[in-house]
């Protein structure tokens, strides 16, 4: 099991990547629908707890894959705005 210190560097890098992603999310068209409390983004990125054995990349990636590793015609439906949409990615990384 990695020490808490060995998890901090990847966690910090992930935070920076999330910040960059945030700029992209803010630029999404206003025409996109709002996410719902029971939608895939909210289900997978709410109360995301990092697996200290695997590290933050693994934990975040697992949630990302559950949301976005879907058929192409379903993928665009996952790009949602609002409280239960992609902005949840910002709070997924403590």
- Residue 11: pLDDT over 90: no
Q: Which residue has the tokens 């629908």?
A: 33
Looking at residue 40, its pLDDT comes to 95
Please spell the DSSP secondary structure of the chain, one letter per residue: ---HHHHHHHHHHHHHHHHHHHHHHHTS-TTSPBP-TTSHHHHHHTT----TTT-HHHHHHHHHHHHH-S-HHHHGGG--BSTTSTTHHHHH--
Which residues constitute the domain of residue 15? 4-92
> Does residue 23 surpass a pLDDT of 90?
no
- What is this structure's pTM? 0.70
Predicted pLDDT at 8: 80
**Tally of structural domains, the chain:** 1
Dist CA 69 CA 30 (whole Å): 24
pLDDT surpassing 80 at residue 1:
no
In which band, very low, low, confident or very high, does the pLDDT at 69 lie, cut at 50, 70 and 90? very high
**Mean pLDDT, the chain, integer:** 83
Check whether 35 has a pLDDT greater than 90: yes
């Amino acid at each position: 099991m990695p020490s808490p210190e060995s998890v901090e560097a990847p966690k910090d890098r992930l935070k920076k990547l999330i910040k960059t992603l945030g700029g992209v999310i803010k630029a999404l068209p206003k025409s996109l629908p709002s996410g719902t409390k029971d939608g895939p983004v909210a289900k997978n990125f709410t109360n995301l707890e990092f697996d200290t054995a695997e590290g933050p990349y693994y934990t975040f990636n697992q949630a990302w894959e559950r949301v976005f590793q879907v058929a192409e015609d379903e993928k665009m439906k996952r790009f949602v705005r609002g409280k239960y949409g992609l902005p949840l990615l910002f709070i997924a990384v403590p």
